Amino acid sequence: MMKTEMYCYLENREKKRLPSRMDEWLDPDRTAVVCIDMHRGHLGTEPDVTCPAPRARAVIGAHNEFHKACRDADIPVIMCQHWQRHGGIDDVASRKRTAKANWRWLYELYLPPNPSMDQHSWEGTKWLDLMVEVDERDYFVRTKKRLSGFYPTDLEFLLGNLDVDNVVLTGTYTDACVLSTAFDAANRDFRVIVPRDVVAGYSAEAENAALMIISLHLGLVVDSTALVNEWFARRGTARKTPAVAASAAAD
């Protein structure tokens, strides 16, 4: 049973208390966290950073606090990364008639020219350095080649072996990789939870749109503090970490 007054946000704005019939969505024994693409290629401050995600850079601290709280609550944390073979055969140098991934074509329509983007997530480059704290207990999925954390990876296999029903998504971009992963998780009948202060999108507008879609069709959009408090209450232990600071998601 729920131990706290747990709530979610419909359309990322209407705060609604969760009914008791959704109790199993919050079971820490059946939950894992999947952190998506929090690496240097998005979060670096170098002028040639391959695919900048400045809003995600602003919530690195929120990620670290939330992930630490999850580990303290004995909830597995999985680092899932876009990880391509050096040279670009998985994407920009593909020999397929459709060539590189759709997002590359589209980004060229509205982002400044960036020659270094070709090397985004290339194996052997610094762009794959994780910019969030990791722990020896964490798991890693490093075969993501497109937007979803499930394609073409063994994430579902790992979640099955962890006996997980509930998938909590953190990371970047909310409106691209997080949203795509949320769709794939929901289509596989995982329960999806997104703490809105521990994700970040291309812009406030795009981020809000993604969270609206998630809240209406895919899963629960929540505050990380409330989620962690519920987990610790069910564990019957005191929380060891401070509340996660509010992020741009609430702007």
| pLDDT tens readout for residues 190-229 | 999 999 999 999 999 999 999 999 999 999 999 999 999 9
> What pLDDT shows up at residue 166?
98
Distance of alpha carbon 195 from alpha carbon 221, whole angstroms: 6
pLDDT band at 77 (very low <50, low <70, confident <90, very high): very high
CB–CB of 132/171 below 8 Å? Answer: no
% the chain with pLDDT above 90? 93
pLDDT at 248 over 90: no
Q: E strand or H helix at 61, and its extent?
A: helix 60-72
Query: DSSP H helical segments within 1-46, as ranges?
Result: 40-43
The one-letter amino acid code at 176 reads: A
Contact 35, 67 (CB under 8 A): yes
Position 241 pLDDT exceeds 70: no
- The greatest distance separating any two alpha carbons of the chain, rounded to the nearest whole angstrom, comes to 56
pLDDT at 17 over 90: yes
CA gyration radius for the chain? 18
Q: Report whether 13 contacts 222 (CB < 8 A).
A: no
Lowest mean pLDDT among 62-71, 191-200, 241-250: 241-250
160 Cβ contact list (under 8 Å, min separation 6): none
User: What 3-state DSSP class applies to 16?
Assistant: strand
pLDDT on residue 242: 54
pLDDT given for residue 239 in this prediction? 74
CATH code, residues 11-250: 3.40.50.850
- CA separation for the pair 57, 41 (Å, rounded): 11
The whole-number average pLDDT for the span 36-40 is 98
pLDDT number for residue 247: 39
> Where are the domains positioned within the chain?
11-250
Per-residue pLDDT for 9 more than 50? yes
Given this model, what pLDDT does residue 74 score?
A: 97
- Helix, strand or coil for residue 53? coil
Task: Decide if pLDDT at 96 tops 50.
Answer: yes
Percent of the chain with pLDDT over 70: 95
Q: Report, as an integer, the average pLDDT of 52-73.
A: 97
The pTM assigned to this predicted structure is 0.94
Predicted local confidence at residue 245, as pLDDT: 43
pLDDT tens, residue by residue, 181-200 = 999 999 999 999 999 999 99
> Of the given ranges (128-132, 158-162, 211-215, 246-250), which has the lowest mean pLDDT?
246-250
Quick: pLDDT tens for 102-118.
999 999 999 999 999 99
What average pLDDT score do residues 59-80 get? 98
